[in-house]
Amino acid sequence: MNIALIAHDNKKILMENLCIAYRHILIKHNLFATGTTGQLVEETANLNINKYLAGHLGGEQQLGSQIANNDIDLVIFLRDPVTSKNYEPDIHSVLRLCDIHNIPLASNLATAEALLLALDRGDLDWRNILKQ
């Protein structure tokens, strides 16, 4: 499956730790990430990442395009709900596209872990049916 990884600046270490802890699951899938997050995860968790541009430079729009084309099966977007971003419309666009196209989305650590465990059990295999 195709999994997208995005993390706001103060959530990047959390994303790195999540990817290290769940490397045994993530290594079985195609991973996509915005620029800086992708580079950090690739280096710390030793995973192959297809990298978009940095989020604020259009990476979130690149991800949105893949979601709209049904090319992403799961999104883990560790967001900072406290600090507002000047590119907030792009962030909401990704969330909206996930809702429109029924893409499982985790926006915090608890949901990310639940979705990764569900993925490992095969609970998200219905996504493969949609692609046929």
Three-state secondary-structure class, residue 7: strand
Per-residue pLDDT reduced to its tens digit, 42-99:
999 999 999 998 877 888 889 889 999 999 999 999 988 776 655 555 578 888 999 9
**Domain edges within the chain:** 1-31+110-132
pLDDT at residue 46, rounded to an integer: 96
CA distances from residue 26 to 42, 67, 84, 112, 124 in whole angstroms, order as listed:
12, 19, 30, 12, 14
